[in-house]
Amino acid sequence: MAADSEPDQPADAKPDHARVAIKVDIVVIGAGQAGLSSAYHLQKLGLVPDRDFVVFDQSPEPGGAWQFRWPSLTLATANRVHDLPGMRFEEVVDTSADLVKASVAVPQYFAAYERAFDLRVHRPVKVTVACNRGERLRVETDRGAFSARGLINATGTWESPYIPDYPGADRFHGRQLHTRDYRTAEEFLGQHVVVVGGGISAIQLLDEISRVTSTTWVTRREPQFRDEPFTPEVGHAAVALVEDRVRQGLPPGSVVSVTGLPVTPAIRAAQERGALKRLPMFSEITEHGMRWADGSEQRADVILWCTGFRSSLDHLAPLQLRETSGGILMTGRLATQVAKDPRIHLVGYGPSASTIGANRAGGAAARELTSFLSAPVNS
């Protein structure tokens, strides 16, 4: 990597170290599944880490968002962790031990992967902003500034939990927390917990909490449970619908709304003991609970918002990538390339948000971006 000064700085100006940027071809932001896959494929294409491309990750250790998951999430209960390219998960982790915590096993795998392929991930490094500088992009971090020809963004969603704005939320006397804040069900002993959300995480946490205390389950839509196996065809159909949305510049939709909720033995047991009796969304939050449109109320001590996440893209705001619809118009073979600026790829976004989708997207983004950057300017 070489130091580079901003192009608008006069050649005879006194050195301004605050404006000096390190020059690289490509910056990869994020080292979860999508970021590591992208880095692997860049290297396979002949690019050298820390010379041609650099990888930043704001987490303190390898593992992406998995290192922050709740302790009860094990390999048996987590959605399948797909192999990264070039190294099988089983080479590092004993997957026969179902009680192994996902927050331990996945970081162990990612760390081994980074070492095996010498990806040289820099952490903890927080990218604060990315800006357009003509032919290059300026990427500012808490470790200095970088000047890049292309950018692969793989920041995922964990840093952007979504809690809907409901009337009265600010006057609730109890505790409110999001999925990402959850640790154990035992901390709610003796309290009534309202679980809000219809996704897989909501069901898992509701199952755990309802075993130790009283609960109420609330969702915006009627949950759709799926008894039949989750086949590759079902998965492809769900991804195709999400891909269609981002190719129109619309915000990514919910995959669960397409695939439905799998009925596992744990979910069936929760149904049998009455824990999955769903109520529609309340109309307002009161000091001591919530109230529905028909006037009925429920006292509560805790509201657990299992309402999902949004893509963590605030650092890209100066690039003005969003459409008036609020989404980002995507193109490319696997819809990773930003139509407004082909130098930028988003992996782990939209159709590539799943672990297997992130792998494929990382390869597509690496190949398409390097091809774009190597093409003649007026080709």
pTM across the whole model: 0.88
- Interval 356-370 mean pLDDT: 91
pLDDT digits (tens, 9 = 90+) for 201-220: 999 999 999 999 999 999 99
For tokens 């118009």, name the residue. 329
The Cα-based distances of 182 to 15, 71, 229, 255, 285 in angstroms read 49, 9, 29, 22, 21
Phi/psi-derived region of residue 85, left when phi > 0, alpha when psi is between -120 and 50, beta in every other case: beta
Count CB neighbours of 250 within 10 A.
18
For residue 129, give the nearest of 317, 255, 301 by alpha carbon.
317
- Low-confidence winner among 215-219, 368-372, 373-377 (lowest mean pLDDT): 373-377
Question: Considering the chain, what is the average pLDDT of its residues?
Answer: 89
How far is Cα 282 from Cα 219, in angstroms, rounded to an integer? 9
Q: Which helix (H) or strand (E) holds 107?
A: helix 102-116
Domains of the chain, each with CATH number or no CATH? 2-159+309-374 (3.50.50.60), 169-224+260-305 (3.50.50.60)
How many residues make up the chain in this entry? 379
How far is Cα 121 from Cα 142, in angstroms, rounded to an integer? 15
